[in-house]
Amino acid sequence: MGFRMANIQEVAKKAGVSVATVSRVLNHHPSVTPKTRVKVETAIRELNYEPSMLGRNLRNSESRLLLVLIPSISNPFYTEIINGIQTTAIKHRYNILLCETNSDPRRENIFFNMVKNKLADGIISMDPTINRQKLTELAEHHSVILCSEYMEDGSIPYVTIDNERAAYQAVKHLIILGKKKIALINSDERFLYARQRRKGYEKALREFEIPISEELIYNTHELNFHDGVQAMRMLLRMEEKPSAVFAVSDTLAIGALKEIKASGLKAPDDIAVVGFDNIHFSNMSNPTLTTIAQPMYKMGATAATMLINQIQSKQVESILLDHELIIRESTMG
C-alpha cells in the first residue's frame, strides 16, 4: 500500500494555478472565476484528488468529528441514544466515532488525547466507569458533555433523567400490586445512577413502612443477561423468597425472568419483575417486561446539540428529561 495520494500542489501545477486558488475552489470561495474553477475541478478529477483532513485539521484546528464514549456496545441501552446523537450530528455536518472503552483506562486516554490533539472536536461520555478526575481536567479546556451517567458537582454539563424518582415509581408500582418482599438487583454502586436508583427503591419502601433488608439487595458486576440470572439464583436461595424484583436494567430483568421460569416459578404471580430502560427486547421477552422507559433517542439528540453548542462557545445548561413507567405482563399477567 505504498501509495501517495495527489496533494494540493500537484493539482495546482496540473491546473496551472497556485495552491491558494485550489484551496479557494475547495472551500467554495466566491472570488474564483468560473473559468478558473473549471480548470481546477478538472485537475482534481483527473488526479483523483481528495483534500487531506490531516493538513486541513492541523491548519484549522477543527475536525468536525465527535467522539462518543461507551463502556460496551453489547448493552442495547446505548443503541437508540447513539441514533439520536448521530442524526443530530449529521444535521450539523458533524460525524461521530464510537469509542468502546471496555472500562480500560488506557483506552480512555487515547480518546481523551484525540480531543486534546484536535483529532476530534468534542466528546460525549456515557461511560460510568470513566476516570472522573481526568475527564474533569479535559473539560476545563475542551468540549465535553455527559449523557445518562453524570457528575453531581455539575462541573460538566449533562443530560439525564431523575433516576431516584423513576426507581421510586417502579417500586411503588410493585407495592401497590400488593407485593411486600421486593428485591433490588442493582449494579455496582460506585456508579451514581446505581446509588440514585437504590435511594428511590428505599424511599418507596420507607413510605409504605416496609423494612429494608440488605439480604434483598444484590449487586451485580455487569449488566449482562447472565448477571441477572445469577442474581435471581441467589435471591431464590432465601428461605422466604421475594415476591417481586426491581432490576436496574432490562438486561438484568430479562435474566431474572429466565431464572424465575427455570426454577419452576411464574412471573408475575409468584414473582413480579420490573426492569429499567425499555430496550427493544423488553417487549420480546416472555412475559413482556414492565419497565421504566428512558427517552433514549431524545437524550442522544439533546447531548449532541449541547456538545455542538459548546464547541461553538455557546452557553449550555444541564437538562433532566422525563421518564415513563411502561406496564406490561411481568407485573400485570
Question: What is the nearest approach in angstroms of DNA to the Cβ of residue 64?
Answer: 12
**17 belongs to the binding site for DNA (CB under 7 A):** yes
User: Which residues touch 70 (CB under 8 Å, ≥6 apart)?
Assistant: 78, 82, 98, 99, 100, 101, 126, 127
- C-alpha–C-alpha distance, residues 199 and 217, integer Å: 12
Residue 97 binds: one of its own copies, DNA, none (C-beta under 5 to 8 A by kind): its own copies
Q: Nearest 5°: CA angle at 165, between 161 and 167?
A: 95
Our finding on whether 51 is near its own copies (CB under 8 A) is yes
Residue 191 Cβ vs its own copies, minimum distance, rounded to whole Å: 21
> Are the C-beta atoms of 321 and 298 separated by less than 8 Å?
yes
CB of 153 to DNA, least distance (A): 30
Asked if residues 138 and 114 have their Cβ atoms less than 8 Å apart, the reply is: no
Closest C-alpha among 176, 175, 171, 173 to residue 186 = 171
Phi, psi of 218 (to 5 degrees): -120, 130
Cα atoms in the 13 Å half-sphere on the side-chain side of 222: 9
| 40-99 binders of DNA (CB under 7 A) | 49, 51-52, 54-56, 58-60
State the minimum distance, in angstroms, from the CB of residue 138 to DNA: 17
Binding site partner of 18, from DNA, its own copies, none, Cβ cut-off 5-8 A by kind: DNA
CB of 186 to its own copies, least distance (A): 20
User: Which grid cell is 40?
Assistant: 481546477
Instruction: State the nearest-atom distance from the C-beta of 113 to DNA, in Å.
Output: 11
Q: Which stretch binds DNA (CB under 7 A): 20-28, 78-86, 93-101, 173-181?
A: 20-28
Told to check if 285 binds its own copies by CB under 8 A, we report: yes
**Measured CA distances, 79 to 226, 278, 324 (Å):** 20, 11, 19
E-only strand ranges, the chain: 65-70, 95-100, 122-125, 143-147, 158-161, 182-186, 217-219, 244-247, 272-277, 290-293, 319-321, 324-326
Binding residues among 231-250 for its own copies as defined by CB under 8 A: none
Using CB under 7 A as the binding rule, whether residue 4 contacts DNA is answered as yes
Examine residue 313 and tell whether it contacts DNA (CB under 7 A). no
Site string for its own copies, 257-276 (x = CB under 8 A): -x--x---------------
Q: Is 117 helix (H, G, I), strand (E, B) or coil?
A: coil
Q: Please give the size of the binding site for DNA, defined by CB under 7 A.
A: 30
Which backbone phi and psi does 273 adopt, to 5 degrees? Answer: -135, 135
With CB under 7 A as the contact rule, which of the stretches 16-24, 63-71, 237-245, 318-326 interacts with DNA?
A: 16-24
Q: Residue 24: which of DNA, its own copies, none does it interact with, CB under 5 to 8 A by kind?
A: DNA
Nearest to 78 by CA among 245, 331, 294, 319: 294
> Beta strand pairing status for 319-321 and 290-293?
unpaired
Question: Which residues would be at the binding site for DNA (CB under 7 A)?
Answer: 4-5, 7-9, 16-24, 26-27, 31-33, 35-36, 49, 51-52, 54-56, 58-60
Question: Which residues would be at the binding site for its own copies (CB under 8 A)?
Answer: 1-3, 5, 50-55, 57-58, 73-74, 76, 78-79, 82, 86, 90, 95-100, 102, 107, 110, 113-114, 116-119, 140-143, 224-225, 254-255, 258, 261, 280-281, 283-286, 310-311, 313
